[in-house]
Chain A
Amino acid sequence: MRDAFVTALTELAPERPELLLLTADLGFGVLDEFTKRFPRQFLNVGVAEQNMSGIAAGLSLEGHLVFTYSIGNFPTLRCLEQIRNDICYRDANVKIVSVGGGMSYGALGISHHATEDLAILRSLPNMTVFSPCDRWEAAEATRYLIAHQGPAYLRLDKSAAPVASQAGETFQPGSIRTVREGFDITLAATGGILEDALIAADVLSGLGIFCRVLSVHTIKPIDVGTLIAAASETGGIISIEEHAVDGGLGGAIAEALMDAGAAPGTFVRMGLRNTFSSVVGSQKYLRQVYSIDASAIVRTVCARLKIPAPVPA
């Protein structure tokens, strides 16, 4: 996903000389080609995210299109007030990119897990929030960000879901992408963890339960229409995110549906519940530990639909 972002940025940089890529001293090896080809459009500000965000605001006031790049919570929570006051209030053309959404950095520990970022960033006025599930969405979101004015956050997961993009499919920012059709229940996921939703959907189809699987690549603005349809056309909605359940994808869906008066038949928010992901392990292992992996999704769906869950092999 990270490489898809860098590739898209590298393709479009020559057409947009006002585009600048700022990093807070991260991206070793990954940004080399961009740096080499566009030295005047690249700036390593050092390990100083507050400064990076303020510089980005200043540059945008002068007409630049600025990407700030780092990992985990560093380009977001570390410099949240600069993002709020200097970027969002000014409606500045600054795009914040974080590599390592959720627990991508597995065993590095909670300092490197971004598990509250979606909730916090989506609460900021003027902010658009993207959380793609695969390389295609990541590349398309990057192209959209380059073409459109205003502050935005792009959360890039290390994992990616194996979604085959349909022939002629176009990326619809602000919309939810239906990656599998079904009417028994809806699995709405954001980010690479959509891969677990797809595995769960396969298992459930073997039990005669057909899931609608949604990739919510745009967390803000949220696509209310598709959510209302899922609430009325399927048996309920399970939100799945590698993020705290408070205020993230599940929170956004709940708010949207309550506002619309369109309660789903059943509703579960799967994510971290008032906990730090302090167990040591890989992203895959941590999903299992925190009960947000494919088998946890299967168990959750079966419990809600009141059918026996399959015995794990």
Chain B
Amino acid sequence: MTCSVTRSLARRIRTHALRMTEAGGASHIGSILSCADILAVLYGGSLSVDPATPKDPARDRFILSKGHAGAGLYAALAERGFFPVDKLLTHYQNGSDLCGHVSHELPGVDISTGSLGHGLSIAAGIAYSAQLRCASHRVFCLLSDGECDEGSTWEAALFAAQNRLSSLVAVVDYNRIQGIAPIADVVELEPFAEKWTAFGWAVREVDGHDHDALLAAFGAVPFASERPSCVIAHTTKGKGVSFMENQVLWHYRIPRGVEFDAALAELEAGP
């Protein structure tokens, strides 16, 4: 899988998500743009999944713990063939399967999320089962930095290290802006890599928009034997739309009118 494929997928995830949030009047476009490259590299390259057999026991597992980026995952799954791309624009609409936060009602999604701090525990349970059964699939869990405020995230981190869950990979979308303010003004996470290391994880830091770096990191897990792996992906909230980048406003603001047009133009012209 070449990075030109994942870059193209990332561009489509971004434009789909923008259209979906605009059509549905939905929030979180900044968070989705932040992790679009991570999702593209996972679904376009790293994850061993097959839409023809979405429940294949040998598949890699993926948990979107930052469930508010649901539109991004829906776009990745549709582009990957888990369901028709046409379905995406039903997002947020009455009677749709595509609710704002990720739902397991869709093929390719194992668990519903949306309340922060749940995903890593579930992923740890899945990884523990894999270990019991000597299975070789990997379990990727994508977290927001904001949900590292949740104590349950660290409960799971302790557990995973204690039980040597080497198939478990936590990917943190580290854009340094949480719901209503920058992380530095709320609860600082630094020294962040050191925290994960101190909790017993093998850590790599990458540019979360560099597809080569992401692909290399995901391909290199586990980073250490008998240890869970953490990829801290340094990202930009709102990545790809100049006026959304690093703006707290775009956690909740809905792209509409001239803002929507301008954002779409930038994303379509993007890398």
Contacts and interface: CB of A to CB of B under 8 A. Distances in A.
Asked if A and B are interacting partners, one says yes
Interface of A: 40, 43, 45-46, 48, 50-51, 53-64, 81-82, 85-86, 89-90
Question: Which of B115, B119, B130, B155 has the most A CB atoms < 10 Å from its CB?
Answer: B155
Interface residues of B, number: 29
A47 to B, nearest CB: 9
Nearest 6 A/B pairs, CB to CB = A58-B125, A54-B121, A51-B155, A55-B125, A62-B129, A48-B155
B122 A58 contact: yes
A61 B137 CA distance: 15
A51 B114 contact: no
Contact of B112 (A46, A48, A59, A89): A89
Interface string B99-139: 00000100000111111011111111111111010000000
Interface string B144-187: 00000001100110110010000000000000000000000000
Interface of B: 104, 110-115, 117-130, 132, 151-152, 155-156, 158-159, 162
A57 B122 contact: yes
A49 to B, nearest CB: 9
A68 to B, nearest CB: 11
Contacts of A86: 111-112, 118, 121-122
Nearest to B123: A58
Given A46-B159, A50-B155, A54-B121, A85 B112 contact: yes
A61 B111 contact: yes
Given A81-B115, A85-B114, A85-B115, A46 B158 contact: yes
A265 B83 CA distance: 58
Given A53-B121, A86-B111, A90-B104, A58 B159 contact: no
Contact of A55 (B113, B151, B159): B159
29 contacts: A40-B132, A45-B159, A46-B159, A48-B158, A50-B121, A50-B151, A51-B155, A51-B156, A54-B118, A55-B122, A56-B125, A57-B125, A58-B121, A58-B125, A58-B126, A58-B128, A58-B129, A59-B125, A61-B122, A61-B125, A62-B125, A62-B129, A85-B114, A86-B118, A86-B121, A86-B122, A89-B112, A90-B111, A90-B112
